Every structure is written in structure tokens, then in C-alpha cells.
Chain A
């Protein structure tokens, strides 16, 4: 603007109160750049908000479930014909033997409430989950003395009923659905009005086991959470000591020559290797060659250890490097040996950094799915929680991300909701771990 009028003026002769052309241009460039930065952050934030909104809105449904409360008469003539309460004989009654009890219970409930319906007792009972009979049988086996009494039960509703309660299933969408009819939905509406069917928080989703394809309403992430926990224990027990020992040796003791240079470069390369490569390596070495059990958290943990080691080594070396050399000199100067100077002074100062790196490495391992695909931890339905540490390590199990993958690929839309719910739980774990890492770093960092 002012450049033309000032073009003939001597250098720096213009007033400081008016900007010259170059300054104005530089200022414009700077404000433009600031704007780009703000835009970039805004785009990032928008994506984060979209992601969180999507996950929360789709996943929260998995934490509530539709329940049907019924009084079931545990008829002695059906469950214990001889009347001697012999547990072996009671166990001989299969879940099919319990189905009539449920039918009777629902019929009598309908009668009691005076609900008018044309549905057969079988169709009425079909609004319950297929797990209801098993739930009843488990209860009777655990409490044989209750046979003959009437006990109140809270059964899971069928996933279609649950979907109807959550708005996923409507009368239009079930036109071609053989497992539920509009008449059954009317029946459900009547039961909801009478308070027999309620939607409430579902603890079993967090602590329960996965269920078969026919019973999405009964599926939970708990057992795969235990699988993940055991894997993380293996990773922590192996990767932390090996990683820290390797870093201390490389950083403090190893001579600096071409061999250590090669090792250093290759550790950095390992950190960039795709995780599926570690998976196929684990398959070849741990399962095919060492014959460790398939699908076991021990093998999963070993594979994830390989994957986490470079992360831990790199972060440990960085935090060892960050300890000022004057501390090492001070220790050596009073006559400490190399090892004493490392373990008494350097390591304690590097510990927060090491801890942070380890937690971040663990969080990374916790969310890893690809290597688990290859060692068979995906697709296995763990129906029971392991009963001991050994079986927790060696018996087949799944892991949280693998369980989510498994649900996401099943056909029934009810599993879709559970996949999102699983993602919420996984993210809660990851965010918690990363927060702990940040807090530790803030608290213990820079004490010298």
C-alpha cells in the first residue's frame, strides 16, 4: 500500500509508525500460517469429536440389555423324578427339559396380568434368549434344594426384542425375519407396560464370556479381557527386564563400534516392522517349532513381547541419555564402579521415562490385533474364564481387540453393537494407561 510512495526514499528513512511493504508482507505471511495451524487443529479436533461421538452413540447400547422377570416354578416331577435330590440325576436333565418350565412360567404370568394374546406358549417363550434354559439349569444344579419352589428369575430377552427396545428393530424391518413376528412385538409392548420387560445395565457384557452366533444378547467381553490381561503380564514380565537390561548395556557399557552401530540401527528397524510379521514369526517359532499351544495367551504374550521390545529399548535409551553426564562423573569421582553409578544414580533418574515408555509399549500391545490373527487367538470362543494362572496362560483364549474383530465380522446386527461396546472398553483401558504414563512423567521428571 505504502510501497509506491516510499520507493524512492532512502533506506530506513520511513517512519516507524507506518509499516513498510516488506514488513506488511511478512506479517501477512505469519498470520496466514497461524490460520493454517488453527485450521489443521480444528480439522483434527473435528475428526476426534466425530470418532468419539460415533463410538459412544453406537457402543453405549451394549452396556444396557433387555431383561424379562419371571416367576418360575421348579417342578419336581420334571427336574427330579425320583425325588432324592441326587445331583448326578439332576444333571441328566438337559436344557430341553427346562424349556417347558419357562413356557409354563410365561403362560402363568400372562394369565396373572390378564394379557390378551393369540400367541402360542412356544411363541411367547421365544421372546426370551436361548440362554434362559441354560441359566435355569445352572441355577438348579447349584441349588438343588430349591426344587419344588417358585423362584423369581431375570432372563435375558432375545436379541430381536432387545433390538426393538433399543430402536434397532421395527415392525417394518422384521418383515422377512423368521425369528420374530409383529404379534410378538405387540406382546412385548404389553409386557413392557406391565413392567415384566425392563431395560437395565448389563454387567455381564463387561465381565461375561462370548456367546455363540445365536445368542448375541448373552455375549460379553470379560473372558477376552482376562486373555488380554494374561498377555500383558507375559509382555511385562519379559519385555521390561529384557528391554531395560539391553538398553543399559548398550547405552552405558557397550563399546561404540560398528557392531553396536548395526545393533542400534536394527533395533530402530524392528520398531517399524509391521505387527503381522511378528505374528507369522510367532506362528513359525512358538507354535510350529516349539509346539506351544495354539490360541494361548502365553504365545500371544511372547509375540507381543517381540513387538514391544524395540519400543521399550528405544524409550529406555532415550531416558538414560537424558540423565546429565555430570551425575555419572560425580559417582565415578567418589569411587563408584560403573555398575554402581548406573544402578545407584542413573537408573533411578531414568526410571520415570522407562516406566512411561513401558506403559505406552503395553498400551500399544494391548490394542494389537494382527499378530493374534496368525496364532489363532481370533475366532476362538472362550466360554469360560480360566480357573488358574497356568490355565490362564496356556488354555485357549481370545484378546479384547480380537474379540471386537470377531464380533464385527458376525452377521447378526446385534453383534455389531457389541463390537462398538467392546471398542469403548478397550479405549477406556488405553486412555487410562496413557494418562497414567503422562501423570508419572509429570510427577517424577527432572528432579535434579
Chain B
């Protein structure tokens, strides 16, 4: 336990975008997240790893209040985004989600054209004054999603007609189109083949220049490849959080070591 405290202090010195303290999540009678304290830095990729059902996705969904849609879910504790409590009564989750974008496990483009998929967010948030500006946003977002060259000739084609990897990159483009500050990714590559996964990972590394990226992943290799910080969750507890290199080479907690060496999980 003392080891964990030391690790946290190291992180505290960095530039924190999101600060979570004493977060508890209950699903009905189930205590899904217990006392999680974590600081997520700006312009870094933070990976959440851990076995299935350990609460990493649940915690990720707390960060943009997607858990609000689940009736039985209750969140306690503080989560600060730039020093503002996102669970404050005055916060409208809609505004929060414009700032904290999300990419889901399964690619879920809208059954509309590629253009409309990307333009939807900017439209509802009023980010473009006219068609030309909107076109510009769409192009910029698709370029950031590293999919522009593949779809620039068929922006009117349905987004659902793309391949799995392209769909996921389209979803990333859609998420960045609203100019978020934080991008949450919930196992974005679990439905993709290795080549598409490599493309998405490359993209995540580029996105780090602008956004704070939080990625939940089942693959420890992926966490090691793309992230600077790694958090290991186990049974609803944040067991260890630190520099990715340190977590994978010199874990402080025996549970982390067991997990990354494949003895549990």
C-alpha cells in the first residue's frame, strides 16, 4: 500500500487534466469501483488494464458521465476536469461530453453518410457557421482520424458500408470533430484485425499531440505500445498507477506482477 502511495505522488507532479478522488461506483447492490484515485495527464495516453469485470470500462464511462444512462448506477466521490467537478449539479452532461469525447468498443457509425457522421457533432454544437466551415471541419477530422484518403471520394456513401477498421477510424474522426479535450476509448481495437489495430494505434499516438487520451484495453502489449501511463485495475480497485515502462518492467504490487506475467487474469 505504501508503494502505491509513492507512485501516486510521482504522478501528481505532472500536469493533470482529470483528477479523480475517492470514486465509488455502485450498480444496484454491486460495488463496482472502490476508492479510485487517479490523475490523468494532459497530452498523454493513459491505459487502463486489468482482467474482465475489474471495473476499468465502468470507470472510463464515469469520466464523461455515460453511466448516467444506466438507472441503477450511482457514482460517489469527486472527478475534476480542469478543476471543475463534473458531477456538480450545475453541469450539463451534454456539454461535458462535447469536451470529453468517446470511442466505443464496437464501431458504431450512424446509419448515415460518412460526411453526416462526422458533421453531426459540429452541427448540434453549432461549431460551423456555414457549409464551407463544416466541410473544413469534416475534412480536418477525417484527416485526424487517418481515414481521409480512403473516403474523400465517397463522403456520401453510408458509414456502415466501410470495413471494421475504417468504421472505427470514422468513429474516432467523429469523436474529434467536436474538438474535445479528452478522448476516451473503450477497447477500440477489440473488434479489429491486427492490421486495422496497428492503424488505430498509430492514430492514437498522433492524437496524443492534441488530446488527453484514455484507453481501456485487454491487450497488455497494446497498453505497452501506445501509452505513457498505465493503470491496473483489479476487482474494482485501482491497484497500481504509474509510468507504463515502470508498470511493465518493475511493478510494485504483486497483483500487477501476477497479471502482467500472465499468472492471473
A265 CB–B CB distance under 8 Å: no
Closest to B99 in A: A335
Contact residues of A between 423 and 448, Cβ < 8 Å to B: 447-448
How big is chain A's contact interface, by range? 20 to 34
Q: Which residues of B contact A (CB under 8 A)?
A: 64, 66, 69, 71, 94-95, 97-98, 101-104, 106, 108-111, 120-121, 124-125, 158, 160, 171, 174-175, 177-178
Partner of B124, one of A256, A333, A335, A448: A335
> Is A1 an interface position by the 8 A CB rule?
no
* Residue A349 interfacial (CB < 8 Å): yes
**Is A332 close to B, CB under 8 A?**
yes
Q: Any chain B CB within 8 A of the CB of A334?
A: yes
| Contacting residues, chain A, for B66 (C-beta < 8 A) | 329, 332-333
B171 in contact with A330 (CB, 8 Å): yes
Alpha-carbon gap, A324 to B125, bound state (A): 24
Q: Is the CB of A340 within 8 A of B108?
A: no
CA distance A448 to B103 in the complex (A): 18
Q: Is A336 an interface residue (CB 8 A)?
A: yes
Taking a contact as CB atoms under 8 Å apart, the answer to whether A335 and B104 are in contact is no
Contact of B94 among A256, A335, A344, A349 (CB under 8 A): A335
| Docked pose: A329 CA to B124 CA in angstroms | 16
Kindly count the residue-residue contacts between A and B in the assembled complex, taking CB atoms under 8 Å apart.
68
Q: A337 near B: Cβ within 8 Å?
A: yes
Given contacts A333-B97, A336-B124, 7 further A-B contacts (CB under 8 A): A327-B111, A329-B104, A332-B97, A333-B66, A334-B177, A335-B121, A447-B158
Beta-carbon nearest neighbor of B159 in chain A: A448
When the two chains form their complex, are residues A334 and B178 in contact, meaning their CB atoms are under 8 A apart?
Answer: yes
**Among B101, B111, B120, contact of A447 (Cβ-Cβ < 8 Å):** B111
Q: Does A328 contact B (CB under 8 A)?
A: yes
User: Can you show 23 pairs from A to B with CB atoms below 8 A apart?
Assistant: A326-B104, A326-B108, A327-B111, A328-B69, A329-B69, A329-B102, A329-B108, A330-B104, A331-B110, A332-B66, A332-B97, A333-B104, A334-B97, A334-B98, A334-B101, A334-B121, A334-B175, A335-B94, A336-B120, A336-B121, A336-B124, A340-B124, A344-B124
Q: Complex Cα distance A448/B112, Å?
A: 9
In the bound complex, residues from chain B placing their C-beta under 8 Å from that of A340 are 124
5 A-B pairs closest in CB distance: A335-B98, A326-B108, A334-B121, A333-B102, A448-B111
